[in-house]
Homo-oligomer: A and B are copies of this chain.
Amino acid sequence: MTSKTFVVITGLALLSGCGSPDVDVEAEEKHLMDLSREWSAVAAGDDVEDLMSYWSDDAVMMAPGQPPLRGKEAIREFVTSTGEIPGFSISWEPLEAHVAESGDMGYMIEQNQITIPDSTGDLVTQYNKVITVWEKREDGSWKNVVDMWNSDPSREK
């Protein structure tokens, strides 16, 4: 066999042999940061289905003072109820993203602001730190599988 034949066969074998192609981790991390900013912009609107589309069907929301909300229906119920609170608003920004070498899992450290009426009806803004965990689905789309936040007094204005 010629060395040329060897190179061709080896090349073909390499192309077909690996479970997943090389992952550009930095590009995936940038993609997650962009996705978070995009999601926050969607949350400023009133399209609940668009908002819901960022969660996986089996996502778990870990909101302060709530039991874990498991699955899209439980999350939809929570999101819908908060959306009906007069004056309620939420926005967030990602601070850093980290993606696994295989490109199928990642997480972000983020921060959010939630404005709601206090017991007297005056609107108050809560400042929180956030962790979100993401998994890439078969179709190549990233979906949120866990999001959790709690208060960050260092951000209070």
Q: Which residues of A contact B (CB under 8 A)?
A: 1, 5-6, 9-10, 13-14, 17-20, 22, 60, 62-68, 98-102, 104-107, 109, 129, 131, 133, 135, 145-146, 148-155
Main secondary structure of the interface of A (DSSP, over half): mixed
Give me 11 A-to-B residue pairs in the complex whose CB atoms sit less than 8 angstroms apart, sorted by A's number. A18-B18, A20-B102, A62-B150, A64-B64, A65-B151, A65-B153, A67-B155, A98-B105, A101-B105, A105-B107, A150-B150
Report yes or no: A19 in contact with B22, Cβ–Cβ below 8 A.
yes
| Identical copies of this chain, number | 2
Closest to A22 in B: B19
Other A-B pairs, 16, CB within 8 Å; known A9-B9, A68-B129: A13-B14, A14-B17, A17-B17, A20-B101, A62-B109, A65-B150, A66-B152, A66-B153, A67-B155, A68-B109, A99-B105, A100-B100, A100-B102, A100-B104, A100-B105, A107-B107
